[in-house]
Structure 1
Amino acid sequence: MMTSRLPSCFGLRFYAKRAATIRAKPSKLASSVGIGAKRSKKTVKKKGKEVDIFNYGKYVGLKERDPGSETKGKELLDKLSSFDQLKILPEVRNSIKNIIKDETLSKKAKESEDVIPSPIQLIAMKKLSRTLMDPKLQHHAIAAETGSGKTMAYLIPLFDYLKRQETEFPEDWEFMQDKAIIRSVIFLPTHELVDQVYNTVKKTENDLKFHVYKWDSGTKYPEIVEKLKNRIDILITTPAKLLNLFNIRMISRADRLLSEVKFVVLDEADTLLDKSWVEDTHRAIRSLPNTNHLLFCSATIPNDFNDTLERLFPNTIPITTPRLHKLPKSVDFKIIDSSINPFKGSKIKALAQTLYAIANDSSEPGFEKRCIVFTNEKKDVPYIVEKLKVTYGHDCIGLTSNDSVEERLEKIHDFITPPKPITMKKETPKIENEDSVEVEGSNITIGDFSSKTSVKNSNSESSLKVLVSTDLMARGLNFQGVRNLVLYDVPQTSIDLIHRVGRTARMQQRGRVFMITDKKTKSWAKALPKVIKKNMTLK
């Protein structure tokens, strides 16, 4: 049977001994994105060309990329363009193509005979396939821009690894296929993400015959115990849930159930390894002693995350794309200045009119529109929702950490599913006594109105649905068909900015972002439209 023991780097004594040495030398991941930062615009020379780096936010939060890594990524992508060029088992390749085609919103992609992989899918599988079945412990960090297909970038090697175990080691497979074991684990930080990834992975149950199971907040102990009587090929859960295996009295030897786990993924790894999560996450990893592959996956490489990888997993090999830490090229970024007339400093008026303009423009004809509004503070969500609903007549809901998992899943349902066609003409809120005023640098037409403006509502449902939330909903969730996003507050860091903006313009779809500013807004925030236009890297 294939076995692989973790080296001493998983022991606490090793960390203590290595602390001084690790601090003294940069990690491989750090070198892939550069070290050192200044609080100003910076230009890096790369093979005679100048590459702009923009320092966004109150403090530098992202590691700077090594100029050479972008060149290597581009050179590899120049040679690869198809799944057929990758070392993937035919049944896995077909399954992957079917899943991608099923989940895409692009009509052209659905009707196409072939499926084109994204850059991170090509780069990740090309690099991982070289040593995929090597029994030694391997650490890799997959980092790519938001909405780039990172989930499939780690699922492809995972699926291929599991099927190769079955075909290349038939004696081992015959022994384990009817055993009560877990073969791989995908860790995620929230139950919404657990549900999202599970809905994708379970599509392999028919063609690849994988036994897939999610352990989320609604799972009762008797249910998980019953499920563990048979083989689980892919378990999708949180680190805390996995650790609960050792607290269930009906399970006498949790260590035996986990002894055959060979492939482990940490999705949204920068969250799972931050200060509030790292203890549980590290304990969960250490409970899987025979791991062969440990993959970290993230849309950003924050300084703290890089430092944690350097300290705990110093042998991690980076896999990144040329567009890491860049905002999507397909996003149309607009600034709405609430300090000018007719708003006179009222951000809520600017927000209400922005939503009114979105609802009434000619985009997304025939389909119900969706818009996400992000705010920095949880306490502001109820206020914004009440104002939008009561004063301005918008179809709006709010979501915070006070909501239960079940409530959150219900609230986000219309935003993570494909847009619904409009079967009847819908009326949107009408604002009386409008004086059209065009805001410079924006495609929004503003009406002159006060907080007491009368709103005419019809009994029909609005064609625009609005979700107001915080960063709770900014990580990893695939908001299908959300083409409009409003930043009610200016994100304080480049990390927050990238993740919030990344909820739209996903997988090369078009998207619009409207950021509301005021007199206190710093110049680095107002420069974002130019940052996108010039294809600058954020730091």
Structure 2
Amino acid sequence: MDFKDFNFNPELLEGLLAMGFRNATPIQQQAIPLILAQKDLIACAQTGTGKTGAYLLPIMNMLTENNDRHNTTLILAPTRELAQQIDLQVEALSYFTNISSLTVYGGGDGVAYEQQKRSMREGVDIIIATPGRLIAHLSSGVLKMDKLHYLVLDEADRMLDMGFYDDIMKIVGYLPKERQTVMFSATMPPKIRTLASKLLNHPESINIAISKPAAGINQQAYFVHDSQKVKLLTEVMKHADYKSIIVFASTKDKVKELGKVFSRLGFKAEAFHSDLGQKEREAIMLDFKNKRIPVLIGTDVLSRGIDVEGISLVINYDVPHDPEDYIHRIGRTARAETTGTAITLVNAKDKRKFANIEKLIEREIDRIPLPEHLGEAPKDEPLAEKKPYVKKKKFFKKKPKASS
């Protein structure tokens, strides 16, 4: 299904198409019409299925049709990292609109806290927040959400696992009862259905299972130290005939850094990130599609919409935080029943994330030995199982009774 079929606001659609998005994913095909129809929704969909766009696009489209929209949208996320990722998507998709957003999370300094307070008083279109810090602003009276129209709970099961149930209910107490509520969860245990029954009004339900990697992808992994990564990639890219390569990095700053590194090494590479102007991004994407640029470097968010045929190699410079992102990353190659290679570089601190990927895809990824001249690699040892925390009981000896 083409995004043009949703009849989005022309400015929103222009930003969407400029980012390389063309066809809606299954979760987007099902969720967008329901949200546009102002239905409450509970959706079971994992990261990597396009779930963020499934709720952002219809809500942003409705915002473009509303003049009085300050502090009208609240998106709750379990972690600062996810809140930042969602904000990056808002920033990219709203490039041609005047939609504004604000991330609210703990861990910042006093200056950041004051900036948040000022933005809240002035009003923004979309607030993306972790529960704890949001409650602080609501309790202080700085943030007023009496005009809220749209509430989204992303990764709701993870929020409950982290003990945010009471915080969520407290936040909802500050919100109007008349609102549209959308809940996304990777799993659907009874506690999620209980929460949904308290927050949602006659909700529609969607269940999307994440697909496994295509059979035509040759999945490989190197265990390396960070200092060995660039040297290894230099050899891989010079000694194999890869016509079109995507390199995924964890942050925008690392994308920029790798762009400079690869250029110094003689590779024709471009870093694709949100700090570039619209015309620059369009030119880079066109050159990559036409094979004039063989190497494109980007993050999960900005590379999620790339739909380019003939990508022969995907490199995970960093192991993705969420296992589902791995499936989405390597799915850029071996499309339309072709074959391709996916290489993941695993350092010592990313071993557990890599193990979670193998658990999700239900197979062991082929380990490729590090060339000897690059030095010794980190040991690929089985991870020790995390023991569940058990609260120890304290025993106190009774004091002997005083003898009479």
Provide the C-alpha distance between the structure 2 equivalents of 1:477 and 1:334, rounded to a whole number of angstroms: 18
State which of 100, 125, 147 in structure 2 corresponds to 1:260.
147
Q: Report what 1:139 is aligned to.
A: 40
Q: Report what 1:483 is aligned to.
A: 314
State which of 324, 329, 334 in structure 1 corresponds to 2:214.
329
1:309 aligns with 2:192: yes
C-alpha distance after superposition, 1:324-362 (max 9, x if no partner): 1322338725477x9xxxxxxxx779xx89x94784243
State which of 499, 508, 532 in structure 1 corresponds to 2:324.
499
What runs of 5+ residues in structure 2 fail to find an aligned partner?
268-294, 305-312, 366-404
1:100 aligns with 2:16: yes
Q: Report what 2:370 is aligned to.
A: none
Provide the C-alpha distance between the structure 2 equivalents of 1:500 and 1:205, rounded to a whole number of angstroms: 23
Provide the C-alpha distance between the structure 2 equivalents of 1:117 and 1:155, rounded to a whole number of angstroms: 13
1:83 aligns with 2:3: yes
Instruction: Look up the SS of the partner of 2:251 in the other structure.
Output: helix
Provide the C-alpha distance between the structure 1 equivalents of 2:14 and 2:63, rounded to a whole number of angstroms: 18
Q: Is the 1:330–1:511 contact (alpha carbons within 8 Å) kept by the matching residues of 2? A: no
Q: Report what 2:28 is aligned to.
A: 121
Task: Look up the equivalent residue of 2:189 and give its one-letter code.
Answer: N
C-alpha distance after superposition, 1:132-186 (max 9, x if no partner): 2xxxxx531234454332221111221233234x2xxxxxx5xx56xxx511111
Provide the C-alpha distance between the structure 1 equivalents of 2:119 and 2:183, rounded to a whole number of angstroms: 27
Task: Look up the equivalent residue of 2:32 and give its one-letter code.
Answer: M
| Structure-2 change in CA distance of 1:118 and 1:284 (3 Å) | same
Provide the C-alpha distance between the structure 2 equivalents of 1:507 and 1:282, rounded to a whole number of angstroms: 40
Instruction: Look up the SS of the partner of 1:310 in the other structure.
Output: helix
Q: Is the 1:148–1:506 contact (alpha carbons within 8 Å) kept by the matching residues of 2? A: no
Provide the C-alpha distance between the structure 2 equivalents of 1:229 and 1:360, rounded to a whole number of angstroms: 52
Q: Is the 2:117–2:137 contact (alpha carbons within 8 Å) kept by the matching residues of 1? A: no
What runs of 5+ residues in structure 1 fail to find an aligned partner?
1-80, 110-114, 133-137, 167-172, 339-346, 372-410, 428-462, 466-475, 489-495, 531-539
Provide the C-alpha distance between the structure 2 equivalents of 1:144 and 1:152, rounded to a whole number of angstroms: 12
State which of 218, 223, 230 in structure 1 corresponds to 2:115.
223
Provide the C-alpha distance between the structure 2 equivalents of 1:231 and 1:316, rounded to a whole number of angstroms: 29
Q: Is the 2:40–2:182 contact (alpha carbons within 8 Å) kept by the matching residues of 1? A: yes
Task: Look up the equivalent residue of 2:251 and give its one-letter code.
Answer: I
Q: TM-score w.r.t. structure 2 length? A: 0.58
Matches within 5 A, 1:96-495: 96-104=12-20, 115-129=22-36, 131-132=37-38, 138-144=39-45, 146-164=47-65, 166=66, 176=68, 182-203=71-92, 207-217=96-106, 218=108, 220-248=112-140, 251=142, 254=143, 257-298=144-185, 300-301=186-187, 305-314=188-197, 316-321=203-208, 324-329=209-214, 332=217, 334=219, 356=232, 359-361=235-237, 362=240, 369=247, 412-414=251-253, 420=259, 422-425=262-265, 478=301, 480=303, 483-485=314-316
Instruction: Look up the SS of the partner of 1:200 in the other structure.
Output: helix
Q: CA deviation at 1:259?
A: 1.1
Task: Look up the equivalent residue of 2:342 and give its one-letter code.
Answer: R
Task: Look up the equivalent residue of 1:502 and give its one-letter code.
Answer: I
Instruction: Look up the SS of the partner of 1:297 in the other structure.
Output: strand
Provide the C-alpha distance between the structure 1 equivalents of 2:332 and 2:219, rounded to a whole number of angstroms: 20
Q: Report what 2:379 is aligned to.
A: none
Instruction: Look up the SS of the partner of 1:528 in the other structure.
Output: coil
Q: CA deviation at 1:295?
A: 1.4
Instruction: Look up the SS of the partner of 2:121 in the other structure.
Output: coil
Q: Is the 1:147–1:506 contact (alpha carbons within 8 Å) kept by the matching residues of 2? A: no
| Structure-2 change in CA distance of 1:363 and 1:155 (3 Å) | farther
| Structure-2 change in CA distance of 1:210 and 1:311 (3 Å) | same
Provide the C-alpha distance between the structure 2 equivalents of 1:419 and 1:364, rounded to a whole number of angstroms: 18
Task: Look up the equivalent residue of 1:420 and give its one-letter code.
Answer: G
Q: Is the 2:156–2:184 contact (alpha carbons within 8 Å) kept by the matching residues of 1? A: yes
Provide the C-alpha distance between the structure 2 equivalents of 1:153 and 1:415, rounded to a whole number of angstroms: 28
Number of positions where the alignment pairs a residue of Structure 1 with one of Structure 2: 304
Q: Report what 1:3 is aligned to.
A: none
Task: Look up the equivalent residue of 2:127 and give its one-letter code.
Answer: L
Provide the C-alpha distance between the structure 2 equivalents of 1:295 and 1:368, rounded to a whole number of angstroms: 33
1:512 aligns with 2:342: yes
Which structure is higher in RCO with an 8 Å CA cutoff and minimum separation 6?
1
| Structure-2 change in CA distance of 1:101 and 1:84 (3 Å) | closer
**Matched residues, percent identical?**
16
Q: Is the 2:47–2:324 contact (alpha carbons within 8 Å) kept by the matching residues of 1? A: yes
Instruction: Look up the SS of the partner of 2:64 in the other structure.
Output: helix
| Structure-2 change in CA distance of 1:331 and 1:212 (3 Å) | farther
Provide the C-alpha distance between the structure 2 equivalents of 1:325 and 1:232, rounded to a whole number of angstroms: 33
Provide the C-alpha distance between the structure 2 equivalents of 1:196 and 1:190, rounded to a whole number of angstroms: 10
Q: Is the 2:46–2:324 contact (alpha carbons within 8 Å) kept by the matching residues of 1? A: no
Q: Is the 1:331–1:512 contact (alpha carbons within 8 Å) kept by the matching residues of 2? A: no
Q: CA RMSD in A?
A: 4.7
